Structure 1
Amino acid sequence: MTHSLPKPAFRRRPAASALLLGLACAILSGCASRAPIVEPPPKVDVPAAWTLGETANHQEWPDKHWWQRFGSPELTHLVDEGQSNNLELAGALARVRQAEAEARIAGVSLLPTASFYSDASRSVPIRRGGASTSADSGLLVSYEVDFWGKNKAGVASAEASLEANRFDRQTVALTVTSGIVSTYLQILSLRDRIAVARGHVANAEHVLTLVEAQKRAGAASSLDLARQRSAVAQQKSAIPELMQQEREAQAALAILLGKTPQTFSVGEQGLDTITLPEVSPGVPSELLSRRPDIRRAEASLAAADANVAVARANLFPSINLTGAMGAQSSALLSLLNAPNLLANVSASLMAPIFDGGRLKREQDLAVARKQELIQMYRATVIAALSEVDTALGQIRSLDEQRRLKTTELEEARQAYDLAEIRYKAGAEDLMTVLDTQRALSDVQNDIGILKLKRLQATVSLYKALGGGWHDEQSQGAAGSAKT
């Protein structure tokens, strides 16, 4: 039904203005609702020092660009390339952007919503009477008073999830960087082992030449000749497998760099070009603020706290305020005349009465989820401490193994040289030469493998210590979890 606004409405406009002012005050008071209480992370028994005594007093940590300490410009270039082009890292960045958008969306619930409406109609009588035109338009404003802090808790949850995604991206970046460095070192080690294997073939062929000369002179048997030829073939057979391992490692490195293996190759240098850096692990308690995965677990706990607050607030009534201001007229041209203005404010309260226990079960679910994340946080901290201690133990063990293997290598090389000299003089048989040759080959392979393991143990320690990452803004939050 269309009608014109009666004259008394013009005199009631001050009352309507007062109602709109009351709506604004209610909105401001709603915005002042309390923020959700976020509990600090649970305490974890952190040791005062690492297990290895000689590293307990060190207070230094890996720097941010720790891979540069290996002294390889090529490695530095590959890491920079991987941090820019790695597909998993790009996916993690996209997840951060999604979380940022979700946090902005959640923040909208703290603000009022406004919408404009407009409607016009024309009535034409069929028999008699003149046509009439009517229209109304206005502004609708609605707001949910966040009396119980539900909306603020939702925003806090979204912001904590955003932080968790940021920390997760740092974890992915650390994993990708460590993978690039470790795989690059593996490629160089394989090239060293290929070079050593080719040296073994050359030695075996040299001995074969001696055996053939001895055979022509009647000093060696056909059996000796067959044995040495077999030894040469055995040494050669090891090379194709090592070359295949090198190709596979290069393909793995290309994937980490976001490239196709067919268009990628590494320089020809070996591990001799790599510097073995020293690592100081610092004090264990600082690990809580230097590992992005631990910080991610803390952020997830904060999000869980906020989700519990949301589920709890859902059990209480919700208060909604709505306001409208517009105009009605039977003549379009006089739509905005003052006597036609209309304003109204309304409030509504909605409280759950019976929902079959759904809201209470949702609260129980949020609490149970929080309890799960508490245990996951503790497990993450314990695993981080264990990883550092394990890496330190590996470094110590590998250093001792390399020292002993170096002594063994010197003795094996001397034994092989003496056996070859004595075989030429006829004082030793071919089996002695073959045994010393095999022992020398095994020790040289072991030395190469131990060298790679020692370098990769250093990479593991860098990774376990957080790879030089440090959340400067969260030192206080991390300190609250210390004992």
Structure 2
Amino acid sequence: MERVRPSLLLASTLISGLAVGLGGCVVGPSPKDIPSLPKQTGYSQKAITQSEAGRDRTGDSLLGRQQFVSGADVAGKWWEAFQNPRLNQMVELALTNNQTLKAMQAGLRAAWEQRRVEGASLYPSISAQFIPTRNKTSKALSPVPNNNEWLYNLHTAQLNIGYVPDLWGGSRLAIRNAKAQADIQRFQLEATTLTMIANIVNTAITEAGLREQIRAKEDLIAQQTAMVRINQNQVGLGDQSRQSQLIMRDSLAQLQADLPPLRTQLAQTRDQLATLVGLSPNADLPIFELRDFSLPQQLPVTLPAQLLSQRPDIAAAQAQIRSAGAQLGIAIVNRLPNVQLSALPGEAVDSMSKMFKPGMGNWMLAATVTQPIFQGGSLLHAQREAKANYEQAKHYYQAAIMSAVSDVADSLHAVELDGSTLLADQGGLDAATQALHIAEAQHRLGDNSQIDVAQARMAVAQDQISVAQDKVTRLSDTVGLFQALGGGWWNRNDLGVSPEAAKRLSTTLVPW
């Protein structure tokens, strides 16, 4: 009968263990066990197809009507719909320069590597040892030493080979958990990127609105100052009382007190914009004006079912369910029997010249079976804890769905209705402007006083402030809709690496 060589026995043992590990089952909940969208989930009881008000034939796009396109995709660069090159420049700068995004991109790469760390458990572990020693044997222990020498050298070269078959899927569950954690990192990165972009767009819009309000407020102050001066002359002539002079000065002081806070807010808005794009407050940033923004006339409306894959917070909640499910499976595996295979082939010689010579080899094969018996109930309670965490993750996911649907509904209603406020205030501004023209014409004919003209100009300036605020609101609500729909992150690359590298890092488990 032919003798089986140790090397063949070792190889067959490892291959058998590998086959058992790969063929083992995976305990715990399935990663596909994700709660579905509640039936009849929608944004509104009635279909919303366009904004309620808007001037379809006007040179100012901010006054136009907006149409909602159901099922349309959200562009990756949705901010370009506002047709502001300076805004596009700021967003692109932030995407490459924001330090928070760079930190999160590095964190994502670390999470991908952690998944590959867990994947190493699918392979055998091999390490090498070389131990040279100088030894002396006691005559009491060895009266007749080997080679008649009590003093000798020993050189030991050995491989340590170990393998743990994945009988119950514990290793695969650890990989699944690491992948879910990496997915959470990715969607948190996408959510942060979306928030940053929306903040940049809203900050630029706010700056433009503040500039418009400051100019109107300065005009109000100028007209009130002129009225105070005219009234002062009238008081000197005895045509007006001292009381009227004091009332006008009080109104002027109130207008003047309103101006510094607006300028402070404008300066702070500029500082915030610089921070968002990764620059210091003294950086030379572009100036934003409301007239430079165009209101998107067509807006996408994602179907509720699509939100499950497009909203970063919902996708992160899905990944959290998969992570919690994997951790529950690991807690179950920890209570089951475990098998570990090991092998120790090597050489032991008294001189290096005999290394790898016949008869100098030694080896050991071992298999260890471990079954937890009593740990004070810790493994059982750990499993129950993991199950409770799994149920918690599913409830949080359902809450995230409802929150996302509500966000879209709120944004739709805001975009639908805020045009009515703007058109009403714009109508008031148009009327005030016509009244001013009439007052100026009457003044040229001597039919009214300079105070009447100043009051008409003040009415125009006051309406300009209201219109500027309404335009900011309408633009910001449009930004809010893009943000509520997920911001089109699936149509751009925010990961800091190429799509090919991202796919390789997030899917492969090769050990190199």
> Is TM more than 0.5 here?
yes
1:53 counterpart residue number: 47
1:264 counterpart = 2:257? no
Are residues 1:43 and 2:36 paired? Answer: yes
Amino acid paired to 1:251: D
Quote how far apart the aligned CAs of 1:459 are. Answer: 0.6
Q: 1:418 & 1:208 partners in 2: Cα distance?
A: 23
Query: Per residue, is there more helix in 1 or in 2?
Result: 1
2: CA distance, partners of 1:167 / 1:14: 53
Task: Pick from 452, 458, 475 the counterpart of residue 455 of structure 1.
Answer: 475
Task: Pick closer, same or farther for the CA change 1:413–1:225 going to 2, 3 Å.
Answer: farther
Structure-2 change in CA distance of 1:354 and 1:176 (3 Å): same
Instruction: Give percent identity, aligned residues only.
Output: 25
1:34 aligns with 2:31: no
Partner residue of 1:309 out of 329, 340, 353: 329
Return the match for 1:274 from 278, 285, 293. Answer: 293
State the superposition RMSD in angstroms. 3.0
The amino acid that maps onto 1:88 is T
Q: Is the 8 A contact 1:20 1:323 kept in 2?
A: no
1:86 to 81, 98, 103: 98
Code of the residue aligned with 2:35 in structure 1: it is: P
| Structure 1 partner of 2:84 | 72
1:112-167 Cα shifts (integer Å, max 9, x gaps): 11111222323357999533222222211001111111111111111121122111
* Pairwise CA distance, 1:272: 0.9
Q: How does 1:113-262 map to 2 (within 5 A)?
A: 113-124=125-136, 130=149, 131-212=151-232, 214-215=234-235, 218-261=238-281
Q: Is the 8 A contact 2:69 2:300 kept in 1?
A: no
SS of residue matched to 1:228:
helix
The change in CA–CA distance for 1:57 and 1:50 in structure 2 (over 3 A counts) is farther
In structure 2, what is the Cα distance between the partners aligned to 1:330 and 1:212? 116
Q: CA, structure 1 residues 282+12, in 2 after alignment: closer, same or farther (shift >3 Å)?
A: closer
Letter in 1 for 2:158: G
In structure 2, the CA distance between the partners of 1:108 and 1:59, relative to structure 1 (3 Å rule), is same
Q: If the length of structure 2 is used for normalisation, what is the TM-score?
A: 0.82
Residue 350 of structure 1 deviates from its aligned partner by 0.6
Contact 1:328–1:340 (Cα < 8 Å) also in 2? yes
Partner of 1:107: 119
Q: Provide the residue aligned with 1:329 in structure 2.
A: 349
| Partner SS state of residue 119, structure 1 | strand
One-letter code aligned to 1:274: F
Distance 2:377 2:329 in 1: 17
Deviation at 1:206, TM superposition (A): 3.5
CA deviation string 1:299-341 (max 9, x = no partner):
1111111111111111101100001211223344213112112
Structure 2 distance, partners of 1:124, 1:360, is 53
Q: What amino acid does structure 2 have at the position aligned with 1:22?
A: T
Structure-1 separation of matches of 2:6 and 2:85: 77
Q: Which moved more, 1:418-427 or 1:14-23?
A: 418-427
CA contact (8 A) 1:405 1:443 kept: yes
Report if aligned partners of 1:136, 1:335 keep a CA contact under 8 Å in 2: no
Question: Following TM superposition, by how much is the alpha carbon of 1:169 offset from its aligned partner in structure 2, in angstroms?
Answer: 0.7
Task: Verify the 8 A CA contact 2:321 2:394 in the aligned structure 1.
Answer: yes
* Deviations, residues 225-247 of structure 1 (Å, cap 9, x unaligned): 44434433333332211110001
Describe the shift of the 1:264–1:256 C-alpha distance in structure 2 as closer, same or farther (beyond 3 A): same
For residues 230 and 20 of structure 1, the distance between their equivalents in structure 2, rounded to whole angstroms, comes to 97
**1:46/1:285 contact within 8 Å kept:** no
What is the aligned partner in structure 1 of residue 5 from structure 2? 14
Deviations 1:262-292 (A, max 9, x none): x224433410111011312132221212112
Aligned residue-pair number:
461
What is the distance in 1 between the residues matched to 2:475 and 2:239?
48
Q: Match of 1:121, SS?
A: strand
Distance apart, 1:20 and its partner CA: 3.5
Native 8 Å contact 2:219 2:458 kept in 1? no
Please give the alpha-carbon distance, in whole angstroms, between the structure 2 residues aligned to 1:77 and 1:238.
32
The residue number in structure 2 matching 1:445 is: 465
Q: Tell me by how many angstroms 1:27 deviates.
A: 2.3
Give the superposition deviation at 1:293. Answer: 1.5
For 2:379, the aligned partner's letter is: L
Q: Residues 174 and 327 of structure 2 are in contact (CA less than 8 Å); yes or no, is this contact kept in structure 1?
A: yes
Displacement after TM superposition at 1:419 (Å) = 6.9
Partner of 2:411: 391
| Higher deviation after alignment, 452-461 or 77-86 | 77-86
Cα separation, partners in 2 of 1:167 and 1:269, compared to 1, 3 Å: closer
TM (normalized to structure 1)?
0.87
Amino acid at match of 1:466: G
Task: Give, in angstroms, the shift of residue 19 of structure 1.
Answer: 4.0
Residues 33, 148 of structure 1: 8 Å contact kept: yes
From 339, 343, 349, the counterpart of 2:363: 343
Amino acid at match of 1:398: D
Q: How many Å separate the matches in 1 of 2:174 and 2:212?
A: 57
3-state DSSP of counterpart to 1:133? strand
Q: Secondary structure at the match of 1:34?
A: coil
Structure 2 counterpart SS, 1:319: strand
What CA distance in whole angstroms lies between the structure 1 residues aligned with 2:404 and 2:178? 27
How far apart in 1 are the matches of 2:482 and 2:157?
66
Q: Any conservation in 2 of the 1:183–1:252 contact (CA below 8 Å)?
A: yes
Residue 31 of structure 1 and its aligned partner are, at CA, apart by 2.8
Distance 2:462 2:246 in 1: 22
| Runs (5+) with no aligned partner, structure 2 | 50-67, 493-498, 500-512
Q: 1:132–1:97: structure 2 CA closer, same or farther, 3 Å change rule?
A: same
Q: Aligned with 2:286: secondary structure?
A: coil
